[in-house]
Amino acid sequence: MTAEQRGATPAREGRNMLGHFLGLMGKTVFTALVLAFFVIPVLWLVFAPFDAHPSLNVKLPEFTFNNFKVLLANPNAIGSLGNSLILALGSMVLVLVLGSLASYSLSRVRIPGRDVLLYTLLLLSSIITGTAAMVPTFLLMVKLGLIDSQFGVILVLSGGILPTVIFILKDFMDSTPKSYEESARLYGARPLRILWDVVIPLARPGLATIAVWAVVQVWGNFLVPYILLRSPSKSPAAVVMYTFYTEGGQPNLALISAFSLLFSVPVIAMYFFVNRRYGFRFHGGIKS
């Protein structure tokens, strides 16, 4: 027994070393595979926009900015990015204004059935998704005469994200200190004025998070504008991108590559900006 025990120590150490080595190998191989899986598809977006002769495969570019010139000369492409901006900012403003008013009132006044209302809203917005409700939404917009209207798209998209906005903003409003509002009230400020001058500045991090989240949701949305808009001149980038073909019927890769990059950069930049500034790792999680 004692002899065995004496002999066991170096053996066990050896096994630990081996285990450690295998662990290191496994970790390294796994990390490399994960990186390959996530990086390789994106490489095209990095190289092709700067390639004089872009093709579908990934290759180091013959460097040029010409593809961006092609893009700038295409009114359809530039217009569609403008349309995405209109939809994104329009929805953002709408949900921020309606969401602030609603969440402030829910946060400060005990309206009967408030908690039930909040949970019902959250439940509804997660089950009535763009895909599940595309048929009735399309018909509703036909009846309202809002087909091919950007305003109509903004209304539908805002209706879909507003419940989540109210739910998160209420949390932010709950955590802003109330003493400022009391003193503002003592000086005779009206509620709307208090909301605008006192509460909104205090809730700015929450509002910024929500603003970015709303823009990211709408900026990349394909389905809703795809079914509700008819004219290419009103369609956003997500939809128009699939109409870029050459006369030969092939995808126009010079245009698509530069366009994809320009279309992706704003959301990537915003995401990482807000992530760094406000650390919203987790609120970013509610992308649907």
Partner 1 sequence: MADDGDVAGLGKARATAFLAPALLLISVFLVFPALWTLYLGVTNFRLSGSAARNPKFVGLDNYINALSDDRFLNSLGLTIVFVFASAVVGQSVLGFSIAWTMTRVRKPVRAVVEFFVLLAWIIPSSVTTFLWYALLDRSNGTLNAMLSTGHMAWLLQYPLQSIIVFNTWVGTAFSMLLFSSALASVPPSQMESARMVGAGTWAQLRDVVFPHIRGHALTNTLLITLWTFNTFTPYLLTAGGPDDRSNILPIFIYRLALNDGALGQGAAISLIMIVINLVIATVYLRLLKERKS
Between the alpha carbon of residue 260 and those of residues 35, 55, 146, 253, 255, the distances in Å are 22, 14, 29, 10, 8
- Whole-number Å distance between alpha carbons of 74 and 85: 17
* Residues in 213-252 at the binding interface with partner 1, rule: CB under 8 A: 216, 219-220, 222-223, 227, 237-239, 241-242
Please tell me the distance from the alpha carbon of residue 67 to that of residue 156, in angstroms, as a whole number.
35
Site for partner 1 in 91-150 (CB under 8 A): 94, 98-99, 101-102, 104-111, 119, 121-140
* Distance of alpha carbon 160 from alpha carbon 129, whole angstroms: 7
Q: CB 40 → partner 1: shortest distance, Å?
A: 7
Q: How far is the CB of 64 from partner 1 (least distance, A)?
A: 19
Closest approach, Cβ 122 to partner 1, in A, equals 7
Interface with partner 1 (CB under 8 A), residue from 56, 230, 246, 273: 56
Shortest distance (Å) from residue 188 CB to partner 1: 10
Residue with tokens 């595979």: 33
Q: Among 41, 82, 201, 232, which residue interacts with partner 1 (rule: CB under 8 A)?
A: 41
Least distance to partner 1 from the beta carbon of 185, Å? 6
**CB-based contact 134:223 (threshold 8 Å):** yes
Identify any residues that bridge with 245 across adjacent strands, giving them in sequence order: 251
Residue 63 Cβ vs partner 1, minimum distance, rounded to whole Å: 20
Question: For residues 9-38, which are near partner 1 according to CB under 8 A?
Answer: 19, 23, 27, 30-31, 34-35, 37-38
Q: Which stretch binds partner 1 (CB under 8 A): 61-69, 71-79, 190-198, 207-215?
A: 190-198
- Choose which of 85, 147, 267, 278 interacts with partner 1 (CB under 8 A): 267
Q: Which of 49, 50, 81, 163 binds partner 1 (CB under 8 A)?
A: 163
Binding of partner 1 at residue 78 (CB under 8 A)? Answer: no
Closest approach, Cβ 246 to partner 1, in A, equals 15
Q: Which of 162, 168, 214, 255 binds partner 1 (CB under 8 A)?
A: 162
Cβ neighbours for 197, distance < 8 A, ≥ 6 positions apart: 184, 189
User: Which lies closer to partner 1 via its Cβ, residue 27 or residue 277?
Assistant: 27
Does position 60 bind partner 1 by CB under 8 A?
A: no
The one-letter code for the residue type at 247 is E
Residue 194 binding partner 1, by CB under 8 A: yes
* 77, 235 Cβ separation under 8 angstroms: no
The per-residue DSSP string of 76-131 comes to HHHHHHHHHHHHHHHHHHHHHHHHHHHHHHHHHS--TTHHHHHHHHHHHHHHS-TT
**Residue 134: Cβ within 10 Å count:** 15
